[in-house]
């Protein structure tokens, strides 16, 4: 897209947003005093919770978009890595000697988080090297094999842990109350942690030599190989990063759930592909924007329509379908039609 067109689009989006905010504000002041404060609390809640879940979703979707953008792999086992990450975290925590009553040092929690991320990264590398690499040219086979990996990991977890639900601990206990909204410290931490990880990754891709190689391979695989880039090793690294991001997102996102049912890979998978499609496949900027859109949309349903909570899962997909009908390549997608 030409530069001026993009600017025009951004200007239109800004104007629409400004009008919407102004409309909401005027509407709020037209309400009675009690109603308006209730509405303002809802808005505050939406802003806080939406940005928190948006940031963790961004972390989750970034891995999905990264491996698609660099290696053209639609990785259906991304949700399984998320699930595996949460499992590995609680298992490592037990091995490190953590106990909720006697030994609850936060050092152990962070050590377990790092160990889980590294471990899942290695699992990702193994899956890529053994299963995806031999058939990487055939998109459909890759799709089926990654679905197979998901089902396999699901079964292995079922065999190892059965119906026992391991609790995933929060990284920090306690709550704080900024802007009159009660927030768990864990959620604040996950917001900060995901944003800083995304920033590190962004700088890594934009500035480092390996990041340059990734961008080159994303543009044209064969030419990148001709320039002396070892694409196999590059893809392995990308897969490792992608899998560890999914694992960290799993550790951050699992605890607030009412019951720690871990064996759920559908939700993260559906979320990550909805986000990635809203933003445009393979675009990092797009998946960040998409993550916040989906995060706000998902939190808006229970806050504004408490009766329609069954729609909570579908809202992300509905947003995705609407965006696709309006813009068939997502908001920032461009690389797919390269031919």
User: Please, which residue, 253 or 281, has the CB nearer to other proteins?
Assistant: 281
Q: Per rule CB under 8 A, is residue 144 in the interface with other proteins? A: yes
Kindly state whether residue 44 participates in binding other proteins, applying the rule CB under 8 A: no
Which residues partner with 176 through β-bridges?
A: 183
**Spatial distance between the Cα atoms of 67 and 272, rounded to a whole number of angstroms:** 12
Contact call for residue 10 and other proteins (CB under 8 A): no
Binding mask 260-299 for other proteins (x = CB under 8 A): ------x---x--xx-xx---x------------------
Which residue among 23, 122, 151, 206 contacts other proteins (CB under 8 A)?
151
Stretch that binds other proteins, among 33-41, 147-155, 197-205, 224-232 (CB under 8 A): 147-155
Question: By CB under 8 A, which span of 9-17, 224-232, 236-244, 323-331 interacts with other proteins?
Answer: 323-331
CB contact at 8 A, 67 and 238: yes
Does the footprint of other proteins cover residue 208 (CB under 8 A)?
no
Q: Helices 284-304 and 185-207 sit at what angle, rounded to 10 degrees? A: 160
Closest CA to 241 of 284, 192, 189: 284
**Shortest distance (Å) from residue 61 CB to other proteins:** 12
Are the C-beta atoms of 332 and 280 separated by less than 8 Å?
yes
Distance (Å, whole) CA 265 – CA 65? 17
Q: Contact between 126 and other proteins (CB under 8 A)? A: no
CA atoms of 64 and 156, how far apart (whole Å): 23
State residue 317 phi and psi, 5-degree precision: -70, -35
Lookup result for tokens 């990702």: 124
Residue 131 as a binder of other proteins (CB under 8 A): the answer is: yes
Do 178 and 191 meet the contact criterion of CB atoms below 8 Å apart? no
Q: Which residues bind other proteins (CB under 8 A)?
A: 68, 74, 131, 134-135, 138-141, 143-145, 147-149, 151-152, 155-156, 159, 266, 270, 273-274, 276-277, 281, 310-311, 313-314, 317-318, 320-321, 324-325, 328-330, 333, 336-337
């Amino acid at each position: 897209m030409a530069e001026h067109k993009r600017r025009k689009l951004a200007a239109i989006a800004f104007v629409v947003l400004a009008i919407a905010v102004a409309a909401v504000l005027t509407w709020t002041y037209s309400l009675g005093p009690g109603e308006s404060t209730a509405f303002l609390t809802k808005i505050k809640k939406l802003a806080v919770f939406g940005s928190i879940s948006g940031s963790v979703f961004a972390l989750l979707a970034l891995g999905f978009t990264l491996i698609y953008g660099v290696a053209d792999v639609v990785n259906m086992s991304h949700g399984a890595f998320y699930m595996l990450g949460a499992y590995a975290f609680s298992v490592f925590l037990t091995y490190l000697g953590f106990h909720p009553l006697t030994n609850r040092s936060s050092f152990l929690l962070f050590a377990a988080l790092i160990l889980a991320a590294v471990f899942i990264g290695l699992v990702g590398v193994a899956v890529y090297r053994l299963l995806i690499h031999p058939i990487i040219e055939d998109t459909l086979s890759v799709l089926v094999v990654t679905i197979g990996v998901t089902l396999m990991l699901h079964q292995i977890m079922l065999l190892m842990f059965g119906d026992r639900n391991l609790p995933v601990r929060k990284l920090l206990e306690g709550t704080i109350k900024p802007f009159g909204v009660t927030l768990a410290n864990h959620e604040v931490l996950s917001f900060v942690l995901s944003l800083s990880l995304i920033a590190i990754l962004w700088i890594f891709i934009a500035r480092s030599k390996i990041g340059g190689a990734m961008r080159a391979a994303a543009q044209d695989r064969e030419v990148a190989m001709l320039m002396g880039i070892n694409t196999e090793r590059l893809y392995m690294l990308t897969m490792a990063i992608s899998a560890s991001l999914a694992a960290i997102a799993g550790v951050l996102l699992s605890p607030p759930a009412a019951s720690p049912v871990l064996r759920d890979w559908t939700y993260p998978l559906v979320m990550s592909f909805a986000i990635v499609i809203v933003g445009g496949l393979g675009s990092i900027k797009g998946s960040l924007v998409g993550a916040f859109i989906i995060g706000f949309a998902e939190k808006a349903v229970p806050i504004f329509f408490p009766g329609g909570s069954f729609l909570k899962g579908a809202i992300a997909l509905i947003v995705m379908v609407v965006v696709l009908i309006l813009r068939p390549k997502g908001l920032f997608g461009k690389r797919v039609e390269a031919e």
